[in-house]
Amino acid sequence: MSDFGGVLNEEILSYIGRESSDETVTFHRAEMIRYANAVTLTKEPNPLFVCDELAEESPFRGIIAPFQFYSIPFTQMAPPALLKEDGIPAAGGLFSVELPPIPLPRTMAGGLNIRYERPIRDGDVLTRRTRIAAIVEREGRSGPLVFTTMETIYRDQSGGDVVVVQQTIISR
């Protein structure tokens, strides 16, 4: 037990406000189309993502990236040898900001809120930065739970917000 009454301590709470360094990636049409084809749940992917003629007739006036594609070009896959027991990389990989050293063995997804400001298009150069927005402890049925909320902002080449993501991970 700490002076804080649970798992959280001054060191862990000092991570609130920490930010990652900027990461910049150029989005390419071929990768966007390959992703659209890979994740489709129907016989054909959505024409907005793969068909010039049909996408041009849409309100978007051209091909756009699939909505969940925003993070794919930034993601580095960690080899299995570098994964902890819960499947999260021991360092780097999944999260672009260093997570606090929470002394609980399991990590799981707690929630995701995504706000799209505009579609992503071929040739867009996006820069992302992640900030730890909050760390909160609660008592669960099986013991302490720590909720870490991160905010990631993806900005375009002119500095405008494209996608804003709030993600909560739960340690238990």
Residue 2: its pLDDT value, please? 43
Q: Which residues pair with 19 in a beta bridge?
A: 131
167 in Cβ contact with 111 (< 8 Å): yes
pLDDT tens per residue across span 70-128: 999 998 777 888 777 777 776 555 567 888 999 998 888 999 999 999 999 999 999 99
133 and 150 in contact (C-beta within 8 Å)?
yes
Nearest to 50 by CA among 70, 68, 30: 30
The average pLDDT across 149-161 equals: 97
State the pLDDT at residue 94.
57
| Least confident residue range of 49-58, 92-101, 127-136 | 92-101
Q: Where are the domains of the chain?
A: 10-27+88-171
Rounded-to-integer distance, Cα 16 and Cα 46, Å: 39
Query: CATH topology for 10-27+88-171?
Result: Thiol Ester Dehydrase; Chain A (3.10.129)
Q: What mean pLDDT comes out for the span 19-46?
A: 92
pLDDT band at 55 (very low <50, low <70, confident <90, very high): very high
Q: What is the DSSP pairing of strand 107-116 with strand 125-140?
A: unpaired
Q: What is the pLDDT of residue 1?
A: 41
pTM above 0.75, yes or no: yes
Mean pLDDT estimate for the chain:
90
User: Percentage of residues in the chain with pLDDT exceeding 70?
Assistant: 94
What pLDDT is stored for residue 142 in this prediction? 86
